Amino acid sequence: MDERKLLELIEGKKYAQIKNELSEMNEVDVAELLDPLDAHLTLLIFRMLPKDLAVEVFAHFSTEQQLGIINSITDKEVEYIVDELFFDDMIDLIEEMPANIVKKILKSAKEEERKLINQFLKYPVDSAGSIMTIEYVELRKGLTVKEALTHIKEIGLNKETVYTCYVTDQKRTLEGFVSLRTLVTSDEDKIIEDIMEDEVIKVYTHDDQESVANVFIKYGFLALPVVDNENRLTGIITVDDIMDIMEQEATEDFQIMAAMSPSEEAYLDAGVMTLAKNRLPWLLILMISATFTGRIMGKFEDVLSSIVVLSTFIPMLMDTGGNSGSQSSTLIIRGLATGEITTHDWWKVLWKELRISAIVGVVLAVINFLRIILLEKVEMKVALTVSLTVVITVIASKIVGGILPLIAKKLKLDPAIMAGPLITTIVDALALIVYFSIAKSLLGI
């Protein structure tokens, strides 16, 4: 069903057909289908859905849609949604809602859940603890396979995943894990302790969510246990949740690399003033920093006035330097994000970028030299000045672009800060200093 057909069925008041067709659809598709509708129609269709599907659709609604639904439905309906939502989805909901709605949600939650919610909300933003869920299967190592499978059948429907079960002791200390595949293929009389894996890859509640995402990428897990400082199992993070985090982190990096303050709002939902505020500070910083370029040109005004043709090559040199630095920084920032590169690899990065830049710089310089001599008809010394500047600028730019993100990471800053606009500003100044210094030396100005 598409939006046009849905609106036709609503106009014809064919509600039974709407309910039947939506019931056969995936909850993500239903949420997407209802997204463009106004609040009244969304609520109308939402109330038609089977209860189980309605809860799953609710979890995929935007914050605005969820707010509209909660404001419009009864306390009993809110209680049902809160009871049926997975715990991590409930935490996400509470974090996004205004205080009056949070009170309504907490009022509908059980006392034990309220205590857990308060505990979760105390974890630092963007930490593993803030994104984990308590909907996991926990086993004791003394159980038999048969007893474990019976236990999973009893509680599995209420858990976010049953593919990996975690083995703990009486104090909830994490001792190992066992996969569902291992359970269903093992003899039913075997003890869990004999078939479990005791080498567990885990994260801690206060670990940054970006480092958690890197663990998922490295090992390809479907779920990852989260423990406290005493190795007690606190929750798990599932791959669907970490995919959302990866998208957020990638979006944030793109925004920073484009010289904008990060924002979680969708572009079309964000206000004009909000977007302007996100862009203005960085543009202001870069504009002020660009005055250094003007000061450098003013300092070498005598060089430009002596040989005016030198000024025609300045845009090309600055663009080449900026592009070279951006290429290196993009690769290094990506390597840091995926864990392929660490701050300990700075020497390897420096050595590799030095060799790459030497090759690239020489090739560009030779082509540029021939172009200036044959097409521009400029004297040999000027062509040589420009070409030597190209070599040095490319080498300096690629080293700066490769090393600055590593320095940012070492200082616990976001490496994306050291991307395109900032590196271009630094490299522009370097290119001009090198250019005019070589010109003064070779041309005897």
- Mind listing the pLDDT tens digit for each residue in 383-435? 899 899 999 999 998 898 888 888 888 887 767 666 656 777 788 888 888 88
Q: How do residues 280-302 score in pLDDT, each as one tens digit?
A: 766 676 677 667 766 776 676 66
pLDDT at 426: 80
Contact call for residues 275 and 258 (beta carbons, < 8 A): no
Superfamily of domain 137-238: CBS-domain (3.10.580.10)
Question: Which CATH number among 1.25.60.10, 3.40.50.1970, 2.40.30.10, 1.10.274.30 corresponds to the domain 3-122?
Answer: 1.25.60.10
pLDDT at 102: 67
Please give the pLDDT value at position 250: 67
Q: 159 or 119: which carries more pLDDT confidence?
A: 159
pLDDT at 282: 64
At 159 the pLDDT is 77
**What is the structure's pLDDT at 251?**
66
Query: Comparing 106-120, 179-193, 249-263, which segment has the lowest mean pLDDT?
Result: 249-263
- Strand 203-204 relative to strand 174-179, pairing: unpaired
Mean pLDDT within 191-211: 89
Please report, for the chain, the start and end positions of each structural domain, with discontinuous segments joined by +: 3-122, 137-238, 290-443
CATH code linked to domain 290-443: 1.10.357.20
Residue 305: predicted pLDDT = 64
What's residue 30's pLDDT? 86
